A and B are shown apart, each in its own frame.
Chain A
Amino acid sequence: MLASLFLIGALFTTPQMSVQAASQTVVEDGSGGMTRAVNRMIGGIASYVRWPDGSAASTRVMCLVGTPRLTDRMAPDIPGPGSIAVRLMNAATATDRTDCDILFLGKMPVADRRQLIAWVRGRPILTITDDDAACIYGAMFCLNNKAASLSFSVNLDAIGRGPLRIDPRVLRIGGGGGSS
């Protein structure tokens, strides 16, 4: 009993050891390796996010703005039940819509990105980008590929401002890199 309590305590008090992005997802060799890794990572992140409106099992809409750098076949893979529907659009369309649960920011002009980040603030929308290795431009999760591996960083400021609740274990893996 005591040991288990100690264990739970230890789980949350473990100092975050790495400054760099902690996640080091193994990317398989071959043409589809990076695509699978990216889709799995986005699905994984989404599965640890709680939207204020409902259950984890429901279908989420991912609005894709700009050009993804890591893959051109974006189809996030959520473990277990639930799925993510991908909608391609430009920045202006995205701010008009109301059904976006996830906003993926690909490569885009700086002004568009700034506008979108500002629009997202306060809304229950998860922001993910693959065009911000240092994770400093306001997206909550930043994907980054490094020498045959894929990793993600977490921007705690951006998460803290939003109404989304994210499993702390994911934040720990993200290592809080690029923020605070």
Chain B
Amino acid sequence: MTAPNQPRIAERIGPRTTLQKLLSRFHFGITLFAVALSGLTILLAGVTALRGYADRNMELAAQLGAYGVEPALVFNDPHAVREGLEPLTRIPGIARLRVLDDRGRPLTQWTSPVADPAPVLTRIFFPRPFAVSVQRNGSPIGTIEVWGDSSTLIDYVRIGLLAGLGCLFITALGTIFLARRFEYELVKPLNEIATVAHDVRLHRRFDKRVQPLGIAELDRLGGDINALLDELQGWQGHMESEHALLAHRASHDTLTAMPNRAAFDEQLAERIAAATAHGDRFALLFIDADNFKAANDNFGHTAGDTVLVAMSTCIKETLRKGDFAARIGGDEFIVLIDPLDTEAVPDQLANRIRACVSQPIALPGGETYRAAVSVGVAVFPDDGDNATALLTAADAAMYSDKMTNRSS
């Protein structure tokens, strides 16, 4: 189903190109047009002017020839006619000369030994010979005819073609230069905008902003993008704080603000892995409130909550840096003493917690309550080398402590 659609989409988009290529092509077109137009104008003007000069040159040559051969015609002397023509034979651009007497009979003629370089040009420029009547005292005594050839024109055409090629070369250079300039002035700022957009999309760098570019339209675009980024950044910040809140809620107990069971399990797994890797030891205290159910029943749930908060405060106070405490059940707390060294004796800590908890707690109802806890200690890896074994050991220790407390 999708296969037949693909070519249609490609067709609609068309071949892709860069802005620089587009500008380059555009510049080349315009420059080529200008060069071609001016070149054509110059060529036409040049050819017209040249044709005028060539015509005048031929006419002048014919007049001079007429002047030179005039006495020779008067004396009907072909040899002198030839001599009179001699200066003309040295002028470039004359293909043929002919002198006719007063009765139209050819007296002498001369043809250039140099071959015509471009007979086509000759036919266009000198379709007919220039004929000048030779006169003596007002009466015609003969005619001189001069045929031009293209040898003088061919130079102009050659130079014109060379100049055209040169212009093309300069056009190409100019186009490259202009394209480079445009790349610098237009494509570069566009690329900056693109880079910012790319960065934002790929790396979530919402703090990135488009710098002022100095081109009004692009600055407007940049300003809009920046405004959009401001909004995105606001949303992102809001989302992050929401996320953090949710994450905190998921891992913490709302009443005591201590990490919950899920957070504790994760923490314990991490610490077991770290201690196994480094060969360290740590202790786990399992703390359970004694007769908490009775307190709840006697004073109400609000009082129970107050007791739990007071307990959590005591536990938090005894923690050192690196230790970890969590509420894993209704009245069950756990403390991880990590690292376990000579200064940190688990039993002492347990006693400190016991002492703290046994202080009178003011209940909301005005009464006071003295809480008591049972504490079980388990040491990793002495009492268990995995979470379950460690917890079981600590639970068992706590239970025996509770039995001891009850019996005393």
Interface, chain A (partner B; CB < 8 A): 3-4, 6-8, 10-11, 14, 17, 22-26, 37, 40-41, 44, 47-48, 56-57, 78-82, 152, 167, 169-170, 172-173
**CB-CB under 8 A for A24 and B137, given A11-B64, A11-B87, A169-B68:** no
Q: A25-B76, A81-B137, A81-B138 are in contact. Are A17 and B83 (CB under 8 A)?
A: yes
Given A22-B80, A44-B71, A44-B75, A8:B64 Cβ within 8 A = yes
CB distance from A141 to the nearest CB of B (A): 11
- Bound CA span A87–B83, Å: 36
Asked if B320 is at the interface (CB within 8 A of a chain A CB), the reply is no
- A-B contacts counted at CB < 8 A amount to 90
CA–CA, A10 and B79, complex, Å: 18
Contact surface of B with A, Cβ cutoff 8 Å: 57, 60-61, 64, 67-68, 70-72, 74-80, 83-84, 86-88, 90-92, 135-139, 141
Distance in angstroms from B47 CB to nearest chain A CB is 19
CB contact between B86 and one of A6, A14, A152 (< 8 Å): that residue: A14
Q: Which residues of A contact B64 (CB under 8 A)?
A: 4, 7-8, 11
Instruction: Determine the residue in chain A with the shortest Cβ distance to B101.
Output: A26
CA distance A80 to B139 in the complex (A): 5
CA distance A79 to B74 in the complex (A): 8
Chain A's nearest CB lies how many Å from the CB of B325? Answer: 114
Task: A11-B67, A81-B137, A170-B71 given; name 4 further pairs at CB < 8 Å.
Answer: A3-B91, A17-B83, A80-B138, A169-B67
Q: Check if B77 sits within 8 Å of A23, measured CB to CB.
A: yes
B69 to chain A, nearest CB (A): 9
List of 7 A-B pairs having minimum Cβ-Cβ separation, nearest first: A80-B137, A44-B74, A10-B87, A79-B136, A80-B139, A24-B79, A169-B71
Are B75 and A173 in contact, CB atoms less than 8 angstroms apart? yes
Report the separation of the CA atoms of residues A72 and B87 in the bound assembly, to the nearest whole angstrom.
Answer: 39
CB-based contact A41/B86 at 8 Å: no
CA gap between A170 and B69 in the complex, in Å: 10
Which residues of chain B are near A4, meaning CB under 8 Å? Answer: 57, 60-61, 64
Contacts of A173 in B (CB 8 A): 71-72, 75, 77, 80, 83
Q: Which residues of A contact B77 (CB under 8 A)?
A: 23-26, 173
Most buried by B among A3, A44, A81, A82: A3
Query: For A79, what are the chain B residues with a Cβ–Cβ distance below 8 Å?
Result: 74, 136-137, 139, 141
Q: How far is the CA of A63 from the CA of B138 in the complex (A)?
A: 26
Partner of A22, one of B61, B76, B79: B79
Whole-angstrom CA separation of A40 from B91 in the bound complex: 32
User: Which residues of chain A come closer than 8 Å to B90, judged between CB atoms?
Assistant: 6, 10
CB of B51, distance to nearest CB on chain A (Å): 16
For A40, list chain B residues within 8 Å (CB).
74-76
